[in-house]
Amino acid sequence: MKRWLTAAEQLQRLAVCVAQRRCLSSGASSGPIPVRDAVLVVGSRRELVERLGSQVEVRTAFISEEEEQALLRELEPGLKKKRYEFDHWDDAIHGYRETERARWGAACEEVLNRLRSVAFPEGSQLLGPVHVLDLDKTGYIKPHIDSVKFCGSTIAGLSLLSDSVMRLVKEGATDEWLDLLLPRHSLYILRDQARYNFTHEILKDEDSVFNGLKVPRSRRISVICRNLPA
């Protein structure tokens, strides 16, 4: 039976390719390039990737398997009481259920505090409840920009259960785009222009390809923190 490679395995292959390419072209002998720097963000133009580099971040293995389990233990009972929503043609999201959570157990609070400390400047005013989005295997998020009324300059999300691809497309210039590979257990952060001037979306399984490599999408839960508008 055909088995798709996980994002981690694909990253390993890509990292080796990139490291070899760089070594070949520069003759450098400084060892492999960290996976994080090498291949988690690709775009329509190198200049765009460089320009938005500081506003788009993906951190692999931000949470451990045990931390994912702790989050799921808190979230699953509430989520299981809801049905996935499929049929609202005008919704930005297809095949999802969602919840918000303000209070967490100690293990989860520790994860969220770690997220907050890397994603938001000290003293930022954060949106109180954390947003939790459960996408069915067939679910996907259509291109949208989060409301500027409710959400400030930064969106930070953890990916549980599945790898996925997030696509950012510049509003009014659809040939300007970035793809982010979001491996399971990773954290992504979108800031400033990347948040305000680019739509973001999570690709459906059929379209879930990163840099020419298939990234199989199964059920995915995201845990998303935002700051408040200034």
Ligand X SMILES: O=C(O)CCC(=O)C(=O)O
* Under rule CB under 6 A, residue 227 binds ligand X: no
DSSP-based three-state secondary structure for 82: coil
Residue 205 region, left (φ>0) first, then alpha (ψ -120 to 50), else beta?
alpha
Which two tokens mark 162? 């599945």
Identity at 51, one-letter amino acid code: R
Q: State in Å, rounded, how far the first CA of the chain is from the last one.
A: 52
* Under rule CB under 6 A, residue 202 binds ligand X: yes
Per-residue contact flags (x/-) with ligand X for residues 126 to 145, judged by CB under 6 A: -----x-x-------x----
Looking at the Cβ atoms of 41 and 133, the one nearer to ligand X is 133
* Under rule CB under 6 A, residue 224 binds ligand X: yes
CA distance linking residue 153 with residue 7, whole number of Å: 28
Looking at the Cβ atoms of 9 and 100, the one nearer to ligand X is 100
* Under rule CB under 6 A, residue 152 binds ligand X: no
Looking at the Cβ atoms of 98 and 176, the one nearer to ligand X is 98
Looking at the Cβ atoms of 14 and 141, the one nearer to ligand X is 141
DSSP-based three-state secondary structure for 197: coil
* Under rule CB under 6 A, residue 157 binds ligand X: yes
CA distance linking residue 200 with residue 179, whole number of Å: 9
Q: Among 91, 136, 146, 176, indicate the residue that binds ligand X (CB under 6 A).
A: 146
The distance of closest approach from Cβ of residue 202 to ligand X in the complex, given in angstroms and rounded to an integer, is 5
Looking at the Cβ atoms of 21 and 82, the one nearer to ligand X is 82
Q: Over the Cα atoms of the chain, what is R_g?
A: 18
Residue count, binding to ligand X (CB under 6 A)? 9
The distance of closest approach from Cβ of residue 2 to ligand X in the complex, given in angstroms and rounded to an integer, is 27
* Under rule CB under 6 A, residue 222 binds ligand X: yes
- Who contacts 163 (Cβ-Cβ below 8 Å, separation ≥6)? 6, 7, 181, 182, 183, 184, 215, 216, 217
* Under rule CB under 6 A, residue 56 binds ligand X: no
- Who contacts 192 (Cβ-Cβ below 8 Å, separation ≥6)? 55, 153, 154
Per-residue contact flags (x/-) with ligand X for residues 90 to 119, judged by CB under 6 A: ------------------------------
Which two tokens mark 217? 């999408």
Where do contacts with ligand X occur on this chain (CB under 6 A)?
131, 133, 141, 146, 157, 200, 202, 222, 224
